[in-house]
Amino acid sequence: MQNLPQILSLFTIEQIDVWVTNDRNETAREGQPGPRDILALADLGEGNILTSPDKVTINAASPRDVTGNFLLPSNTVNDIYQTATADPQARRIERAVAILQNRFGFQQAKDFEKVNARRLREGSEYTVNRELGFISININLRQDQVLGVAFQYSYNGRTYKVGELFNDQPATGADSSQQVLFVKMLKSTTPRVDLPAWDLMMKNFYNIGAYQVNRKDFKLDVYYEDPGAGQKRFLPTNIGTVESRQPLIRLFNLDNLNVQGDPGQDGVFDFVPELTIYPTTGRIMFPVLEPFGSHLRNVRASMVRLCSMSKDLQRFVYQQLYDSTVIFAREFPEKNRFVVRGEYRSAVSSEISLGAFNIPPGSVQVTAGGTLLKEGIDYEIDYNIGRVKILNDAYLSSGVPIRASFEDNSLFGFQTKTLVGLRADYKFSEEFNVGATALKLLQRPFTQKVNLGDDPINNSIYGFDINFSRDAPWLTRLVDKIP
C-alpha cells in the first residue's frame, strides 16, 4: 500500500466462503445453503508459520512467491488435507476428528474446531478485499464462536485453493449434515496470543462508530498525549526542531495524497474508500499492520528526516497492543497515549432512543426491513434508560430502516402497592353522629435499586367529622309571620 490509491499486487481472491458457528438455528433458505458441519484447521494451507510444526510435514516442492522466500498457501503445501480426505469415511465428522487426533495428535481448540456452522452473506455480513486478501466481519462475534474460511485465489497467473468451498462438496441426501467441509480456522473458541492465528487478526482497523460517511464532512487526525503539555500532532522527541518533526498522520502513512488524489502531502487524512476508510461501516484502516508497535520501531530515518530520531522513537512503541490481550495492554498507561480524533456527519446511528424509562424486559421488538432481530446477537437494550444499541453492523451499513417497538410501562403495575382504609362511625343519638377515616398507601419497586420515576411512597391520611341534626319549629313559625 505504498502507492495509494493504486494497489500493486499479484494476488487476487476469486472465490471465498466464510463460516461461523450457527448460533441462530438457521436452516436452508432460498439462494442460501443450510448449515454445514465444518472442521476448521489452524494449519490447513500453511507452509511457513504453523501452530504445530512438529506434527505436520511440509511439502518443500510447493510453489513459492516471486521472491522465493515463502511457500504459497494451498491444500498441498502440507499433508493435512491429503491425509484427512484419503479415508472414504472422512466426510463423517466423527471419523474426520479421529483422523486428526490419531494421525497428527491434534488438540481441539488449539489445532482444530468442529462445529455446525452457517455461511455468511458477502456484502452484508462480511466484506472482502480481493487484492489485499483480507475480510471484514460485520456481525458481532462472541468469544465462543468459531470463524473459518475457504478460498480460491490466483497468484502470478496460477490458481490455488485453501480449504473446501461449498460447491466442492455440495450437501445432498437426508444425511447432508454429516458431509463435513474442511476449512481454514481464523478464530477458535479459545484464542491464544502465542499461536499464529492471533497474528491473522488485523489490528490496524479502528471503528469510529460512524456509518455512511462522506468525504466532505469527514476530518481525522492522530495525536499524542504529552503529560503536562496536552495533545500534540507529533511525537515530543528531544531531537531536532519543531519543523523537523513529522505529523503523526504522515508518520503512519495516512497523508501521502493531496485533495485531488495525486501524490503529495497536504496535512489532511487521505480519504481513499475501501483502503484507508470504509465509508459504509466507519472503519479506519492504517496502511501499516502495527502502526503503534513495530511500525514505529522500524520507521526509516528518511521518513523522520533525522537518523538519530529513529532511535528516539523506540520509547513510544506500544507493542503490547498487538502481542497481548486488550486487558493486559491497558496495564501500560505510559504507552497508551495515542489518540485518533476527528469529526464526521452521518444520518445513521447505532443507538436508538425509545423515549421511555424502565421498560419491561422482553417487551421490545426490533426489526430491520421487516426482519425480526435477536436480542443479545443483533442488538442489546438498556431497559432502565430505554436505549437500543445495534450490534450487527450489517443492518446499519445496508441502509435498511430499523424500527423498535415496546409496551408502555405506564399501562402496567411493576411495583408492590398496598392501600388500606378504615372508616368508623359512632352514633350518640338520632341527632348526633361522630366519624373518623384513615388511609395508608405503601408503594415500592420489586428490587432494592430505585429507578428514576419509581420512588417509594409511604403516605398516611387521617380525617375526623361530626354530624349534628335537629328540627327547628320556631324557624317555621317565624317565617309564617312574614306578610
Query: Each residue of 117-135: pLDDT tens digit?
Result: 999 999 889 999 999 999 9
pLDDT band, residue 30 (cuts 50/70/90):
low
pLDDT band, residue 272 (cuts 50/70/90):
very high
Query: Each residue of 168-219: pLDDT tens digit?
Result: 887 765 555 568 999 999 999 998 999 999 999 999 999 888 888 888 889 9
Q: Indicate the Cα dihedral angle 171, 172, 173, 176, nearest 10°.
A: -10
User: Nearest 5°: phi and psi at 397?
Assistant: -75, -20
User: Nearest 5°: phi and psi at 296?
Assistant: -65, -35
pLDDT score of 239 more than 60:
no
**166 Cα distance to chain centroid:** 26
Say whether 424 sits in a helix, a strand or coil.
Answer: strand
pLDDT score of 44 more than 80:
yes
Beta strands in 130-218 (DSSP E): 134-137, 147-155, 158-162, 181-187, 205-207
pLDDT band, residue 241 (cuts 50/70/90):
very low
Structure pTM? 0.74
C-alpha Rg value of the chain to the nearest Å: 35
Residue with cell 511500525: 295
